[in-house]
Every structure is written in structure tokens, then in C-alpha cells.
Amino acid sequence: MYKYSFQNDYSEEEHPRILDALMASNLDQELGYGEDRFCLEAADRILQAAGNPEADVHFVSGGTQANLTMLGSFLRPFESVIAVESGHISVHEAGSIEQTGHKINIVSGQDGKVTAPEIESMAASHGDEHMVKPRVVFISHSSEVGTIYSAREFKEISETCKRLNLYLYLDGARLGSALASSKADIDLPGICRLVDAFYIGGTKNGALLGEALVINNPALKTDFRYSIKQRGALLSKGRLLGIQFNELFRDNLFFELARNANLMAEKLTDGIRGLGYTFFTDSPTNQIFPILPDNVIEKMSRIYRFYVWKKVTAEKSAVRLVTSWATNSAAVVDFLNDLGEITNK
Amino acid sequence: MYKYSFQNDYSEEEHPRILDALMASNLDQELGYGEDRFCLEAADRILQAAGNPEADVHFVSGGTQANLTMLGSFLRPFESVIAVESGHISVHEAGSIEQTGHKINIVSGQDGKVTAPEIESMAASHGDEHMVKPRVVFISHSSEVGTIYSAREFKEISETCKRLNLYLYLDGARLGSALASSKADIDLPGICRLVDAFYIGGTKNGALLGEALVINNPALKTDFRYSIKQRGALLSKGRLLGIQFNELFRDNLFFELARNANLMAEKLTDGIRGLGYTFFTDSPTNQIFPILPDNVIEKMSRIYRFYVWKKVTAEKSAVRLVTSWATNSAAVVDFLNDLGEITNK
Amino acid sequence: MYKYSFQNDYSEEEHPRILDALMASNLDQELGYGEDRFCLEAADRILQAAGNPEADVHFVSGGTQANLTMLGSFLRPFESVIAVESGHISVHEAGSIEQTGHKINIVSGQDGKVTAPEIESMAASHGDEHMVKPRVVFISHSSEVGTIYSAREFKEISETCKRLNLYLYLDGARLGSALASSKADIDLPGICRLVDAFYIGGTKNGALLGEALVINNPALKTDFRYSIKQRGALLSKGRLLGIQFNELFRDNLFFELARNANLMAEKLTDGIRGLGYTFFTDSPTNQIFPILPDNVIEKMSRIYRFYVWKKVTAEKSAVRLVTSWATNSAAVVDFLNDLGEITNK
Amino acid sequence: MYKYSFQNDYSEEEHPRILDALMASNLDQELGYGEDRFCLEAADRILQAAGNPEADVHFVSGGTQANLTMLGSFLRPFESVIAVESGHISVHEAGSIEQTGHKINIVSGQDGKVTAPEIESMAASHGDEHMVKPRVVFISHSSEVGTIYSAREFKEISETCKRLNLYLYLDGARLGSALASSKADIDLPGICRLVDAFYIGGTKNGALLGEALVINNPALKTDFRYSIKQRGALLSKGRLLGIQFNELFRDNLFFELARNANLMAEKLTDGIRGLGYTFFTDSPTNQIFPILPDNVIEKMSRIYRFYVWKKVTAEKSAVRLVTSWATNSAAVVDFLNDLGEITNK
């Protein structure tokens, strides 16, 4: 009934090459719990792509699971995480970080991103045992509003963290789109040098499910598999994740898929801007946030699936349009045509 | 070396009448774990004072313990607490609520107090299982900045909570001072009718230690002693708490002590205002927040103990002065004389 | 290098019919988080098979996740779970139940199964708030040593639980094999009438991953999706689980696959017994535990993968052989031939 | 109505010298949160008595609180505690250790004490991330059944722990009685050299409330005050604990009080043995467990308060008699007379 869904980047299953790889190995007997040859091979490919052969790689099913397993492992009970107000862990993970026992210290951020001065100031305001002890800075690249950190911002934040004895952790649910952005001025090895741990999102970039966890800081590696198991995140058929990441990181498939998502988002952006609309954030990735009149939104939402993000004025709201590895030009053209028509009526 | 400490209301031990009561029963053999005759008698007196004979009363050692034991017992894992930014649980309990697994949803508040529209709005913005489910509203009376809720505010908040299926919980660390305030227009039975659970602070109003927990809502009473024990809050010699509250709620001692604290705070306020100073909040209780020039603060802080609360302008800060059941006029007069002298130099 | 692995029932990926179903829907756009049409259809099929149209069905990725999400949701902080010593949650889930805050009260059991008198006695020994409060009885069907509960045992346990106000929870990681056992005298609807909640294992019976959670007791249903999300168990592409269970519960595939596993286990059992060996437990399901001389084990373990379960005498040990939906007669024949040869050397 | 209570060692309040010390300082203004001069002085005295000037000392209100705060601070989420079946944390702390997220690995023990081979064996059976990782050995001195560890046992356990990379933690709720026992062959400095952390019980040895925590291992000291605060164990009027321990460790009062308790227990033991009775354990401390006919127990329990510990035969049970710093010879003589009379009737 809907022409197309721009609601998210997980509306389809998986890229055909991944499905092929699953089929090819279907009846092979492999070791369980991520100790199979595919997981080993995938980890190698990821370490090569990330430029840190000394890092540890683990695979889990989803983003909330990745965040709670890593942060729950890295922190002592009274230590906290600094995150931006709109951060995924701040809002959309049902209090999973708090359920592992840790407070999130919220900062306002700028364009959906944590800033170095905010980290500085949050740390400065926590000085004794009556308050939590900030220990991790949580950033998302790209952010919840589609923005990305520049190389300079990464460097400032990383230096601030080092100086203040804070770990820097990156949620990479949409890392592919961020890295493949035409505005990106820092690559995966560059990021990998600056953060203590991060994860690479597969679910939102062509995999059926799966996130690859990369731990750079040796202090955070110890006994991490215990945490994976204890949080219910250790899959019996772990190969399922290995096979997918092995394929994603072969021949740059991961980056190609992200580029398609970004390209489709750019086309949407250009088209919508061409109709005279402005945007809630200046997003160079696969989530864009045009501001539309509420009556236009109402009509478009009968034809396309997407989220209404935020009321902006009495008569206008920002909507969120998400493209993916699977989005094709035809869907974009349709959307723009329909928007044009409804706009000009 | 200091003439006097206005740093807090727990600088002295306990009111002499309480010490007498402890001495009188010292070698009597009593049952442990709060099942002694003193605890029973104290509970009766409290229920009478609160006007709800059906409520349950329990005793624990301190305020953080009271909050974490009650909230940790009342909430399911994914449920959250709405509290004001400056709330004690939001800042000064070292993440103890999060350690019990629960997120605190922060509102800005007004004069240190949660407002009904903020509750409304926080609840409205939480609608599905991707977010926590707000379930308790946490208020402090008096608040961290000395302010108190009016009867009208209590009523609005209580009605909002009932309508939205939220429990209303009151942190009464300084409930004595709030109730005894000359500006108070709601009494203990009035409050008790509107909240689901609260605690009456003894530590900051004449006891050696101890808070009395009152649970009005029958749904929250079940198996509460298990929570007390599990959180390490069940004292072997529970009589220690019973004896003290028994004394505090005999002959209105509790309210008399609070009145003394308030009276001393009023004298300080009048004197400081007389010197031409303004205040950070308009506090009718035993914590006051005059705004003083930093050089005056520097000089006064060599003579008196108190906290510098907050930078207000480049050259001025608010300080916190706290009076207690033990504060006497002489200390107040000294402080005002010294402040006058330093001000006029 | 190994002829075959009898190490577990998750060495292969998934049944071809499931793979076909995944392929068929691959590029369809569906709603996320288990709200797609496949999950709805799969839930319907499961409810029909279980004979309780009023139950709630949810899907998660694995067994540890299923257990921790359900038990973590059902229990108040001081409530505990009664389980047998060899139970999966007692030993092999890395303390995940304790991580959600709950003690496991261990009973010795008989043949790997909890007995009604043990439940009775455990409950009787817990009477006040100094101890935890037992609230759930955890059973596995089949058990960790391959045994199954009879209809009479189910009834006794269920009645004991009801009388003592305990929930009865069933871990069905290998429920398929238990139900399809030639010794089973209780079917899925029969079980469903007696337990408050359970899960149906997909991972170990033909699925790529996935367990179907069934909650019968209305008191346990409320807000359960919040728990799934908070524990990191809510998959974005939830359809992945729906598609698989939809296929497993179409045309009895689930039971056929389990029957194959059991049949292969029976053949192994008969053959091994024919060679004069005895068994550690009398298992009518897909896990069998022959007792072999250590030197025979040593030789066989160079040709086949399997776990050595337990030292039985100075020179003999029990090994665990697991068959699955994918095990074929040829592998069984090979194993028996090789065992015969090594035995008779 | 009862002549005397042998139910526990916390039936009275506090030793008069402690009460005097509280009175003497009652109106002095002191710093809060254990940073007052009494806490500092008490810590010094304790370190001197323990023979380790480098250790850290902290004070909390009770034993369950001491255990959960220390173990909750020392362990990573998936790490566990080895304890004996009858251990206080195993049974009588309402699952508080599990509530902090940690499994307790139960060993059978001998005479209520953990043995070195059991530690060895428990560690050996935990080898991968599917199980918890044992990290702390928990012992009580004296144990729940009144027994004490010999110097040789302490040494064996400590060496086993060191070899296996386990921390050794001692619950000293009744450490006074253990140290003052006529059978003790290890003193406080001797113990202090062998354990990583322990606590010295005040509540059960003359204090109104309070336990002194001693952390020897530098790795366990970091940020410990955050844990105290977060668990609700940081008293505003921390001086209350300092004053008491300052007094207990002045002029050997702590040991004198324990000696009185032990002496009274010995008199009881001798007298009961003289009446022909045997004992459930051979206790050289202030808890003794005579085995009496149930009809004798029934009659005695109308005159004296005490716990019936355990059914021993169809007609006999062990009871627990506890003496304290406050028990006097007259009560012991009365008890023995009455028991003699009832026995010989």
C-alpha cells in the first residue's frame, strides 16, 4: 500500500552476496560461539581495514547489545558515561545502560555531537564520591541526526579524553555511511587510532544482523568474552555473523553499500532543496531531515513511510528520511515527484 | 579554628533528649532488626502524626539508602524516575538509583522544584518500549535550594501523577524544616494524603542517624522488608532508630527542632538582607543562599565553614548557609557582625 | 580433518526450507522490531500448536538471552529461582541470572531433573526477609543430560508450584527433541497448560538462530517488550526470527526435524549398547552419554568431535554425543563402525 | 517475661565507655562523611592493631552492607565469590551479593569452613566464558557455626588463593570472638598479612552499630569511597562510627569484650557438657550449639530466648546459644540450673 519506506535502513533483509555466502556454507559443520573459521577470517579483514592488527574483534547481534555489553564491561559500578542528549543510549535503548548500573551524564551537544568543551566541563563538575565518576565518552558517527565528526573534532575530543583519563567509545551503527560520506575527512584507520573501542554496524548496512566490536585499548580487552556470554550476546551459531562480515569486508562491499545509501540521500536532499525546503540538520549521510509543512507531511505519509521527527514551527515539522544499501533511484524519483506535486498543488 | 560551621545540618551528633533515651535503655535486651518495642512505638507515633494509620513505617540509616531502597523496590527494571536537575538522586547520590538499574529522567524544574507540566511533558514523550517507562515522580520537600512546595503545587503534581499512572515519592531529608516553615501551607497529614511513599529525615533534624520510611500505597508495601535487608539497610540493633524517632515524635520535639533551624535561618536572612545582599533562591527553610562578592566570601570562609554553591557573576557567588536544631543565636550574631565588618571595610 | 562432529546440535546453519523462506522475502520492505507480518503469522502458528490462543509470543536470538530476559522481567529484586545443579542457568550462562540480580537456589535433582519434594523443601526453608524469596521454578525439557519430564512429574511440579505461589518456567532449548521423543507422554498443549512461561528452541532444531518465548500467565505479560529492548534482545530485523518460526511451525517441520535428531540418537544408542557399553543417563532424546574407556575415547576423539562429559571411574568417562536435524545415517554408521573397530582391537 | 536472651550478640545497645564517648563529643561540630578527627584516629588505632600501616580503613553500619559494598567493588560483572554453604552471604543476606550482580559458588566446607582443596577444585571446574570466573574466596572468622580457622588453614587457603589469582576476603562480624578464643593460634596482624580485605565487626562486640573495613591489597583500594556512597553506606554523621571504633581500639576494649563473651560461652559449654549433652560443632567462640532433646528445648524456650538451629535426630535438635560482651555469669548460672532441673525431671 505504501510506494516505499524511508522509515529506516533495516526494512530489507540482506545484500544478495551475503545470502549467497550463507547458502554456500549452510551444511558445513563449524565450531560454535564465534570460534569458526569465518569469524576468524572476518576479524582479520576488519583489523586490516581498521589498520590496527593488535585490536580484538568480537561479533554480536545488535546495536543496543553492543553498547550495553561494552560499556557494562568497561566501567566500574560508580563510573558513568558522557553522552549527548539525543544519543541512542540516552533515549532509545530503554535504559539499558542504567540497567547495567551506570549513569549517563547528558550534555547538550552541537548538531547532535558531543563537543570537547562539554566533556571538559562535565568532568570538571564531578570531583568527589558524592557524584558518579565520568569514565567513558560516548559518541556516534554518524550521529542520530545524520551529522559526522570532522578529523579536527575527533582529535580534540580524543585529546580531551586522554588528558582527563576518559575512555573514548564510538557507536558505529551507521559508521559505514559516515565513512563513505563525501564530507568525511577522516577514514577508518584514522578513527581507530583515536578511540579506545567502537563497533561497526552491519545491520544498517547490508547485513541480516550483526555488529563488529573492535577493542583497541588493551586494558579493555581482558575477559571480554565473559561479558558477551553473560549479557546473552554469544550466539551458538556465531558463524552467522562471521560469514556476513567476511563478505562485507571483502572487495569493499561495506563501503560500496554505504555509498549507495549516501548517494540516494544526496539525491533526495538536492531534490527537496530544489523544491525550496530547508533542513533541520545539514546531514552528509543517509539520514536527512527536511522541514515540511504539516499538511504536506500528512499527504506524503499516506504514500511513503517515514518518521515525523520534530515539530519546528506551528505549521512545520522536520521529518526523517532514511536511505539504505537497498534504496534505488526509482524510489527517490517517485518521492521527489510526489513531493513536488503535493507542494505545488 | 573556625568560629562556627554553617556547612550543613549534621555537624553535631544528636539532641540531648535522644541521647538520654539511648542511655535509659542501654542494657535492656530487645529483639533485633526493628522488631523491638521502640520501633513499634515510634511507628505508631509517626502514623498518628501523618494521619494515616494504614501506612507502613520502616527505619533505615540514611537518605541515599532510603531513596535507593524504596525506588529500587517500587520499580520494574525498565521503569524510570522523573526528578529535577538539582535533585539529590540526580546529582549527589553517586548514581545509586542507576546502580539499582533505573534511569532518572531529568526535568529543569522551577526554583529547584518539579512542575506538573514538566511531568506531563516527560510522560508524553515516552510512549514505546524503545524508551524507559516513567513510573515515579521524585520530589524533595524542602528542595536542594531550600524551597518548598505549596499546597496547590502538591495537589497539581499529585493529580497529574494519578492521571498518568505515576507514583509520587517524596524525599523528606529536610521535611521537618519544610513543615515548620512559616511559609508552609500544607501539613504532614495533608502531604501524606497526596504521596504514595515518603521518608521523614531524622539525621538532619536532631537524630544521630535515621530516616523513617512511610509507605501509603498498599501496592508498594508487599515484601518491603526483603528490600531493606537486601540493600544492607536492616540494622541488627534497629532499636537505635526506633528509640530516636520515638523521642522525636513525642511532645513535638521533631517540629520544635525544625523551628529552631528555621528561626536561625530567618535571622541570618534578615541580617544579610539588611547588609544589602540578595539571594539566589527565596528560601523559607534552613538552607539559605546569599549572593556575596567573591572577596567577601574568601574572607568569611576563613572564619566560618560553608559551601560556595555557584558562581553567579564574574565577581559574585551564591554561598549556602545551613542552620540546624543545634544552631544558636550567638553563632548567627557573630556571623552577621563579621559579615557586616568585612562588607563595610 | 574430523569425519563428523557430534559435539552439539548447532554445527550447521539452517534447514533449507528456512533458507528458502529468507530468500523469498529478502528485498521486501517490512516493519522492524518484530512487528512484521512474518512474526505475526509465526506467533499464530505457535499459539495454535501450543493450544493457548491467549498466550503472548515474542522472539529473541538465543537461549541465555531468553532466560535472562524472562526471569529478569518476572522477578522482584529479592526473588530467586529454584533450579537443578546441572541446570543451564546454574552453570553455563556465565552468571547471567545473577547479573540481573537474582539468586539461584540449587537443588540436587534426579536424573538432571528438579523434583516436586525438592521444590517443597526449598520453599519451606525460606521463610523470612533475611533470605531470598523463591518465586520461580526453572526446569529444562529435555534436561542437560537428555532426560525428559513425564506427564506425572509435570503435574506434580505444577501443582506444587501453584500451592506454593511459585511460577513454573520451562527452558525449551531442546523442547523439540523432548516432545518428539518416543518416551514422551505429554505434548505441547499439555505442557502449555501447566507452565507459566516457556520458550521453544529454534537454534538447536533447524533455525539459524532464534527462540520463541511463550507467556501464558497474564500477570507476566505486562510491558514485556520493554524488557526485550532493555536487555538488547530486540532485533531491528525481527522478521528474521518470524520467517524462521513461521516455517518451522508450518507442516510440522519443527517436529520432523526433532524426530530425525532423536532417530539418529537412538541408532547411536542401540549400536553403542550392542558393543557392550552402558550409559551415564537413560536419555530418550538427542543427547546421549555413553560411558567409554578413556583410551577408546582418546582414539575416537581424533576422528570425531564430541565432549567428554564426566570422569566415571579411574579408567572410564561418559562422553556426550549430540545429534541434530542435520545428522544423517551415514555419520552414525561410520561412528559405530569406528567405535566397534577400536573397541575390538 | 524471659529470664534472659541468648538469641544473639546484639540484644543490648553499647558498652558504657562508648556511650560516654558519644556524650562527650555530642555538641562538637565535626566534618561529615567520615572525614572527622575520630574516624582518622580510629583508623590509626586499627591499622596499628592490624600491623599494616599501609592499609585503608573505612567504616560502615552493618555486616551485610560491608560485604556487598566490598565484594560489589572488587568484582567485575562476571566474576564470582566462592563461599561455604552455610556462609552468611550464601544464606542470610537476602541475595544481596547476587543483587550486585555476582554469583556465589557454593562449597560444602568442613565444620562451617571453606577448605583449600575445595577452592582448588572450584577454580579448576571453571575454565571458560560459559561459566562465571571465580575471583574472591569468602571466609568468616569465626564461622556461622562458631568455628575458627587455624593458622595452618589460613596459610593454606591464602597460598591457594595467591596461586590461583583469587582474592581472599574475610567477614569478621565476629572477628573479636575468634581472635580472643583460647583456641586461636593466629592474631590480627597474622591474619592481616594473609587476606586482601576484611572487616572488623563492631555491632556484635560492644558497638551500637558499625563495622571497620580494612583493605590491604592496593589494587582494591582505588575509588572505594565511591562504592560506599553509591551503596547508601556513607553516613552523614560518620563520626558516630569513628568515635565507637576509637574507643573499642583504645586500651584493648575490643578484645576484652570478646573475651567476656567467650568466657561466658565456655561456662555454658562446660555446664551443658556436664549434664551429659553433646554439641553440633566444637565451637571455641561465643556461639555454641548444644544438642538437646526436643522436649527439653520446648521447656527451656519458654524461659530463655535462643534459636533452634537444626533437627539432628527424630527427637533431638541443635540449638544456638550466643553470649556477648554484656552477658554476665548470673544469666549463665540461671540457664544451667534451669537446664539441669528440666533435664533431670
Torsion of CA B327, B329, B331, B336, to 10 degrees: 130
With 0.90 as the threshold, say if the pTM is over it.
Answer: yes
pLDDT in tens, D157-200: 999 999 999 999 999 999 999 999 999 999 999 999 999 999 99
Task: Give the pLDDT score at B52.
Answer: 97
Q: Rounded to whole angstroms, how far apart are CA atoms D321 and D308? A: 9
Amino acid at B137: V
Mean pLDDT of A129-140: 98
In angstroms, what separates the C-alpha of B65 from chain A's closest C-alpha? 13
Task: Give the pLDDT score at C275.
Answer: 98
Nearest to C130 among D92, D98, D131 (CB): D92
Q: How confident is the model at residue A187 (pLDDT cuts 50, 70, 90)?
A: very high
Mean pLDDT of C36-63: 98
pLDDT, chain D, mean: 97
- Chain A residues with CB under 8 Å of D101 CB are 101
Backbone angles phi, psi at A277, to 5 degrees: -90, 155
> What chain B residue is nearest to D210 in terms of C-alpha separation?
B235
- Residues A232, C19: C-beta atoms closer than 8 Å: no
* Percent of chain A with pLDDT strictly greater than 70: 100
- Residues B16, D26: C-beta atoms closer than 8 Å: yes
* Percent of chain D with pLDDT strictly greater than 70: 100
Q: Rounded to whole angstroms, how far apart are CA atoms A173 and A64? A: 10
- Residues B28, D12: C-beta atoms closer than 8 Å: yes
- Residues B77, C227: C-beta atoms closer than 8 Å: yes
- Chain B residues with CB under 8 Å of C234 CB are 129
State yes or no: pLDDT of C238 exceeds 90. Answer: yes
Q: Residue C276 region, left (φ>0) first, then alpha (ψ -120 to 50), else beta?
A: left
> What chain D residue is nearest to A72 in terms of C-alpha separation?
D77
Instruction: Return the biggest CA–CA distance within chain A.
Output: 62
Q: Rounded to whole angstroms, how far apart are CA atoms A142 and A175? A: 6
Mean pLDDT of D252-281: 98
Instruction: Please enumerate, as own/partner, the contacts of D153-157 that have beta carbons within 8 Å and a separation of 24 or more.
Output: D153/D113, D153/D115, D153/D116, D154/D186, D154/D190, D154/D191, D154/D194, D155/D194, D156/D116, D157/D114, D157/D115, D157/D116, D157/D119, D157/D194
- Residues A12, C26: C-beta atoms closer than 8 Å: yes
Residue of B135, D275, B80 whose CA lies nearest to A90: B80
Task: Give the pLDDT score at A324.
Answer: 98
- Residues A240, C209: C-beta atoms closer than 8 Å: yes
Nearest to B78 among C78, C129, C227 (CB): C227
State yes or no: pLDDT of D17 exceeds 90. Answer: yes
- Residues C13, A239: C-beta atoms closer than 8 Å: yes
DSSP per residue, B263-328: HHHHHHHHHHHHTT--BSS---SSEE-BEEEHHHHHHHHHHEE-EEEEE-SSSEEEEEEE--TT--
Task: Give the pLDDT score at A1.
Answer: 79
Instruction: Answer for the pair C134, C79: CB distance below 8 angstroms, yes or no.
Output: yes
Q: Distance between alpha carbon D258 and the CA centroid of its chain, in Å?
A: 12
Q: How confident is the model at residue D269 (pLDDT cuts 50, 70, 90)?
A: very high
Domains defined along chain A, listed by start: 4-10+253-344 (3.90.1150.10), 16-248 (3.40.640.10)
Task: Give the pLDDT score at B321.
Answer: 98
Q: Is B124 helix (H, G, I), strand (E, B) or coil?
A: helix
| Coarse DSSP helix, strand, coil percentages of chain B, rounded to the nearest 5 percent | 45, 20, 40
3-state secondary structure B244-259: HHHHHCCCCHHHHHHH
- Chain A residues with CB under 8 Å of C96 CB are 229-232
User: Which pairing describes strands A56-60 and A211-215: parallel, antiparallel, or unpaired?
Assistant: antiparallel
Q: Distance between alpha carbon D170 and the CA centroid of its chain, in Å?
A: 9
**What letter does residue B110 receive in the DSSP assignment?**
B
Q: How confident is the model at residue C1 (pLDDT cuts 50, 70, 90)?
A: confident
Q: How confident is the model at residue A284 (pLDDT cuts 50, 70, 90)?
A: very high
In angstroms, what separates the C-alpha of A87 from chain B's closest C-alpha? 12
Substitution target from A129, A220, A223, A224 for chain D, most D beta carbons within 10 A: A129
Q: Distance between alpha carbon C15 and the CA centroid of its chain, in Å?
A: 18
Q: Rounded to whole angstroms, how far apart are CA atoms A62 and C237? A: 10
Q: Which residues pair with C288 in a beta bridge?
A: C321
In angstroms, what separates the C-alpha of B245 from chain D's closest C-alpha? 16
Q: Is D337 exposed, middle or buried (0-12, 13-18, 19+ CB in 10 A)?
A: exposed
In angstroms, what separates the C-alpha of A203 from chain D's closest C-alpha? 26
Q: What angle do CA B222, C77, C138 make, to 5 degrees?
A: 105
Nearest to C92 among D78, D104, D130 (CB): D130
Q: Which residues pair with D293 in a beta bridge?
A: D316
- Chain A residues with CB under 8 Å of B127 CB are none
In angstroms, what separates the C-alpha of D108 from chain C's closest C-alpha? 13
Mean pLDDT of D221-227: 98
Task: Give the pLDDT score at B331.
Answer: 97
pLDDT, chain A, mean: 97
Q: Which residues pair with C140 in a beta bridge?
A: C171
- Residues A77, D227: C-beta atoms closer than 8 Å: yes
Q: Which residues pair with C286 in a beta bridge?
A: none
> What chain D residue is nearest to B70 in terms of C-alpha separation?
D232
- Chain C residues with CB under 8 Å of D131 CB are 91-92, 94-95
Nearest to B94 among A104, A106, A132 (CB): A132
pLDDT in tens, A257-268: 999 999 999 999
Q: How confident is the model at residue D341 (pLDDT cuts 50, 70, 90)?
A: very high
Helix count and strand count (H, E) for chain D: 14, 13
Q: Is C340 exposed, middle or buried (0-12, 13-18, 19+ CB in 10 A)?
A: middle
- Flag residues of chain B having pLDDT under 50: none
Nearest to D99 among C93, C94, C101 (CB): C101
Q: Is C79 helix (H, G, I), strand (E, B) or coil?
A: strand
Q: What angle do CA A198, A200, A202 make, to 5 degrees?
A: 155
Nearest to B223 among C133, C226, C227 (CB): C133
Task: Give the pLDDT score at D247.
Answer: 98
Residue B125 neighbours by CB under 8 Å, 6+ apart: none
Other beta carbons less than 10 A from residue D87's beta carbon: 27
In angstroms, what separates the C-alpha of C242 from chain D's closest C-alpha? 28
Instruction: Return the biggest CA–CA distance within chain C.
Output: 62
Q: Rounded to whole angstroms, how far apart are CA atoms D273 and D286? A: 16
Amino acid at D132: V
Task: Give the pLDDT score at B158.
Answer: 98
- Chain B residues with CB under 8 Å of A78 CB are 94-95, 99
Q: Distance between alpha carbon B164 and the CA centroid of its chain, in Å?
A: 25
In angstroms, what separates the C-alpha of A82 from chain B's closest C-alpha? 13
pLDDT in tens, A136-158: 999 999 999 999 999 999 999 99
Task: Give the pLDDT score at B345.
Answer: 82
Substitution target from A4, A6, A17, A26 for chain C, most C beta carbons within 10 A: A26
Q: Rounded to whole angstroms, how far apart are CA atoms B175 and B178? A: 5
Task: Give the pLDDT score at C225.
Answer: 98
**What letter does residue D196 receive in the DSSP assignment?**
S
Mean pLDDT of A16-22: 96
Using the CB atoms, write b or e for D150-162: b if 16+ within 10 Å.
eeebbbbbbebbe
D interface with A, Cβ–Cβ below 8 Å = 72-73, 76-78, 100-101, 129-130, 132-133, 223, 225-230, 234
For CA atoms A10, A12, A14, A17, give the dihedral sign.
negative
State yes or no: pLDDT of A182 exceeds 90. Answer: yes
Q: What angle do CA B324, B82, A310 make, to 5 degrees?
A: 140
**What letter does residue D64 receive in the DSSP assignment?**
H
Peptide bond preceding C142 in cis form (omega within 30 of 0): yes
What chains are in contact with A, requiring at least 3 Cβ pairs below 8 Å?
B, C, D
Q: Is B3 helix (H, G, I), strand (E, B) or coil?
A: coil
Residue of B107, B111, B188 whose CA lies nearest to B143: B111
Task: Give the pLDDT score at D1.
Answer: 79
DSSP per residue, C136-195: EEEEESS-TTS----HHHHHHHHHHHHHTT-EEEEEETTHHHHHT-TT----HHHHHTT-
Give, for C262, the enclosing helix (H) or strand (E).
Answer: helix C253-274
pLDDT in tens, C92-147: 999 999 999 999 999 999 999 999 999 999 999 999 999 999 999 999 999 999 99
Instruction: Answer for the pair D157, D130: CB distance below 8 angstroms, yes or no.
Output: no
- Residues A77, D78: C-beta atoms closer than 8 Å: no
Nearest to A95 among B91, B93, B103 (CB): B103
pLDDT in tens, B311-324: 999 999 999 999 99
3-state secondary structure A114-166: CCHHHHHHHHHCCCCCCCCEEEEEEEECCCCCCCCCCHHHHHHHHHHHHHHCC
In angstroms, what separates the C-alpha of B181 from chain A's closest C-alpha? 28
pLDDT in tens, D284-337: 999 999 999 999 999 999 999 999 999 999 999 999 999 999 999 999 999 999
Give the three cell numbers for residue C125: 526453608
- Residues A16, C28: C-beta atoms closer than 8 Å: no
